[in-house]
A = this chain, B = another copy of it.
């Protein structure tokens, strides 16, 4: 029931995921912390980019990190070994059919996962099944509708919109961030709290223009090029212009770029 991963599984995508995680580390994960001794399930670990960060900064917490893709898990294993992160057990498995008994975990964590699922509510129900009463679930998601930039050209906007459309066609919802609050509450969580984490890039923040716009956002858009052209979302010339225009939004002195992530927590 998991939709195809819109960004694919290429080496360039793995590199992009690492750049993304590094750039967003402080913004998204300064408060990704659990009590020492906790057992935390991470659903959808992917190539381990986020896993290395949150496990690395919680050395007294044990993580079980699950993914459906064997190849991603192999990359995650290398990543964790290279970083000297030893408190993670990597495991292959499906989010909708977790290989654990009820209430097996103290806490649950998912990052950039629900947005790729055709049935995020079903995945949340299964994640909550294996969470003990009183434990917390934390979800971090983007919202592609939160994106705007300057200069904003029709071609840049068209290229960006390909991403939203491709993700929807594959069964995901890249606009999920704005509805994280009702999604978590409807799942049965109490004390749901969602905080937006806005990224703003301009000439005064060159490290964000580089790390976020040029190394995270643009490669992400470029990843759906073939899909978008094959389905005729736009023509190749508009695509090329759109990518060039997106580069301008991440380039000083004039470019600016905005995007928001949402981090939600709740108690079972």
* Minimum distance in angstroms from A257 CB to a CB of chain B: 8
Which residue from B175, B185, B198 sits with its C-beta under 8 Å from A198?
A: B198
Query: Is residue A181 contacting chain B, with contact meaning CB distance below 8 A?
Result: yes
* Minimum distance in angstroms from A126 CB to a CB of chain B: 23
Number of copies: 2
Consensus secondary structure, chain A interface: strand
Query: Is residue A247 contacting chain B, with contact meaning CB distance below 8 A?
Result: no
Query: Is residue A12 contacting chain B, with contact meaning CB distance below 8 A?
Result: no
Asked if residues B194 and A204 are in contact (CB atoms below 8 Å), the reply is: yes
A222 to B182, CA, bound (A): 27
Query: Is residue A152 contacting chain B, with contact meaning CB distance below 8 A?
Result: yes
Contact (A203, B185) CB under 8 Å given A145-B148, A258-B196, A258-B260: yes
Measured between beta carbons, the chain B residues less than 8 angstroms from A175 are 148, 152
What 4 A-B pairs are tightest by C-beta distance, nearest first?
A181-B202, A196-B200, A150-B178, A150-B179
Asked if residues A178 and B253 are in contact (CB atoms below 8 Å), the reply is: no
* Minimum distance in angstroms from A57 CB to a CB of chain B: 25
* Minimum distance in angstroms from A260 CB to a CB of chain B: 7
- Considering only CB atoms, which chain B residue lies closest to A146 in the complex? B148
Residues of A142-177 at the interface with B, using a CB-CB cut-off of 8 Å, are 143, 145-146, 148-152, 175
Residues of A253-268 at the interface with B, using a CB-CB cut-off of 8 Å, are 253-254, 256, 258, 260
Measured between beta carbons, the chain B residues less than 8 angstroms from A196 are 198, 200, 258
* Minimum distance in angstroms from A145 CB to a CB of chain B: 5
- Considering only CB atoms, which chain B residue lies closest to A178 in the complex? B150
Contact (A256, B202) CB under 8 Å given A148-B143, A148-B146, A152-B175: no
Asked if residues B185 and A146 are in contact (CB atoms below 8 Å), the reply is: no
Can you list 14 A-B contacts (CB < 8 A)?
Answer: A143-B148, A145-B152, A146-B258, A148-B175, A150-B178, A151-B179, A178-B258, A181-B204, A185-B203, A192-B203, A193-B204, A196-B198, A198-B198, A258-B260
